[in-house]
Amino acid sequence: MTATETPHRRPGTVVVGRDGFPQLLRAEWTKLRTVRRWGLTLLAAVLVTVLISLFSASSSGVEIAGGGSSAAGGSNRHVRDDFTFVHRTLPADGSITARVTGPTGAGPDRAPEWAKAGVLVKENTESGSDYAALMVTPGHGVRFQNDFTHDLAGGAASPDKPHWLRLTRAGATVTSYTSADGRGWRKIDTAELGKSTGAVPVGLFVASPNIQSTKREFGNVSVSDGPSRSTARFDEVTVKGAASGGDWQRTDVGQANGEQGELSRSGGTFTLSGSGDIAPGAPMQPDLVATALNGSQLGLVLIAALGVLFITAEYRRGMIRTTFVASPRRGRVLVAKAVVVGAVSFIAGLVASLASFLVSMPVLRDNGHKPPQFPEIALTDGPALRAVLGTAALLALIAVLAMALGALLRNTAAAITTVIVVIVLPLILVSVLPLGLSQWLQRLTPVAGFAIQETTPRYDQVASLCLPEDGCYPQGAWTGLATLAAYAVVVLGIAVWRIRKRDA
């Protein structure tokens, strides 16, 4: 026998070195690409995803407000900047120190958890100008905030007990300090106040954001959003570096809800009440990127069908026995199938999500979703790119999960029905069930993976409603995708264990 001859072997025996994992991958890939209807299923998944996304974008319209900007002070950022401010002028470097008690609700209502009372340095008294603020909140202790989006915890504090706060200014740098007794001070952080090195207002402020609540029962949504009012007391107030002869002035920055704040002063004690907020604005709806990728919610059905058929077709025809004779290590066979169907589904999902984004975003802009009401979104923007790539990963994980369910159930109809029950049905129910139950489904079922498509920025320091029908998920994007990945890994692991324990 020459070196080029293949040794004779009986049918059913395995050639040594031929059942390695790369060989398994090649064999499973060959099975997938040679079945024409599976290729057509992938193509159909891409087309359905793109067409449904385009239809969703075409159906989403918005009325443009007459020439107004959604941003405070004409800024290109969408923010809230309306509060009651009692201030003096700080010509250059200096500091403000105050002992703060509150904020508490004005009247019978309790203050919102993100009501604010503290000390503040601001570029000017125009709404939207830069600032640095150190405050006490009823629900989140001491906070140091600046530039509307930056928020840092500064320690525990109760609005019922006085707490000492201090801001110092050196050039454009503002440093925050807190103290329990006014003697020992602890530094929290620093912030840059734009490029302001000249005179700026410095003083005391109160803000009390709107109180929001929602009631939803089987598709009927009732949302209330009303103003609140909070009060705080300030004493032991000291301003170093203030202009001599300057008296305290009260300014209602932004005229929150058309209401004016109130100030009463008794000696060195200031009692201040007001409404409004200093914070990022409420997120604009809808989430444009999620809308542009909406077709993936239907495209996943075809991807899942492919995952199921990739294993159940072999059981139905009895070919699985041949597969296991050629590759006796059954667990590795199943993992190889998962890698192949996952990789192919990722590529198809990437084509579908990329095409959906590129064709849907111009339609959304033509329908009125454009600046200043909505930001301009490019594919290269971090959140948008994450959503597009994440959608491909989402579809790949669904394919793996479906294949694993097919291996467990060994029946095409039963496996596809299970996929629909655990993924498609929750996607429908989250828009009609009571809010608490809907958010439970979003957190704990495989639909959590769709959180990867959400790109609307949300901030912990803003109490806002998170409604499933707005594409809002209560967990983070990566947490949601990790939940889906955990389902796929666990079910695949069970399938590997089970396939080793029973006959083919």
* Segments making up each domain of the chain, as ranges: 21-61+285-501, 79-280
- CA dihedral sign of residues 82, 88, 92, 95: negative
306, two tokens: 């492919």
Q: Is the peptide bond before 103 cis (omega within 30 degrees of 0)?
A: yes
Amino acid (one-letter) located at 9: R
Q: Which two tokens stand for residue 226?
A: 């009303």
Report the alpha-carbon distance of residue 401 to residue 395 in Å, rounded. Answer: 10
**Cβ atoms of residues 385 and 379 within 8 Å:** yes
Query: To which residue do tokens 């918005």 refer?
Result: 62
| 380-404 exposure pattern, b = at least 16 Cβ within 10 A, e = fewer | eeebbebbbbbbbbbbbbbbbbbbb
Measuring CA to CA, how many Å separate 109 from each of 79, 226, 229, 276? 26, 12, 9, 16
What SS3 class is residue 194? coil
- Other CB atoms within 10 A of residue 437 CB: 13
The pTM (predicted TM-score) of the whole model is: 0.81
Count CB atoms within 10 A of the CB of residue 479: 14
Distance CA 37, CA 44 (A): 10
Q: Distance between CA 197 and CA 180 in Å, rounded?
A: 30
The DSSP H or E segment spanning 50 is helix 36-59
The sign of the dihedral angle between the CA atoms of 307, 308, 314, 320 is: positive
Six token digits for residue 98: 């105050």
Angle between helices 319-326 and 296-317 (to 10 degrees): 80
326: left (phi over 0), alpha (psi -120 to 50) or beta: alpha
Instruction: Answer yes or no: are the C-beta atoms of 434 and 386 closer than 8 Å.
Output: no
Adjacent-strand bridge partners of 84 = 206, 252
- Report how far residue 42's alpha carbon sits from residue 38's, in angstroms, rounded to the nearest whole number: 6
Dist CA 195 CA 73 (whole Å): 18
Asked if 103 and 111 touch (Cβ cutoff 8 Å), the reply is yes
The closest alpha carbon to 157, from 120, 122, 187, 116, belongs to 116
Q: What is the residue type of 307?
A: G
Beta-bridge partners for 197: none
Low-confidence ranges of the chain (pLDDT < 50): 1-17, 64-71, 73-76
Give helix 435-444 / helix 477-501 axis angle, nearest 10°: 60
Query: Phi and psi for 142 in degrees, rounded to 5?
Result: -80, 135
User: Could you tell me how many residues make up the chain?
Assistant: 504
pLDDT value of residue 60: 82
Which pair of structure tokens corresponds to residue 187? 């530094």
Say how far apart CA 191 and CA 120 lie, in whole Å.
12
Q: Which two tokens stand for residue 453?
A: 């498509």
Which tokens in the block code for residue 263?
């100030």
CB neighbours (10 Å) of residue 89?
A: 15
CA distance 116 to 257: 16
What is the per-residue pLDDT for 17?
41
Cα separation of 72 and 76, whole Å? 8
What is the CATH number assigned to the segment(s) 79-280?
2.60.120
Q: Please state, in angstroms and rounded to a whole number, the distance separating the CA atoms of residues 495 and 320.
A: 15
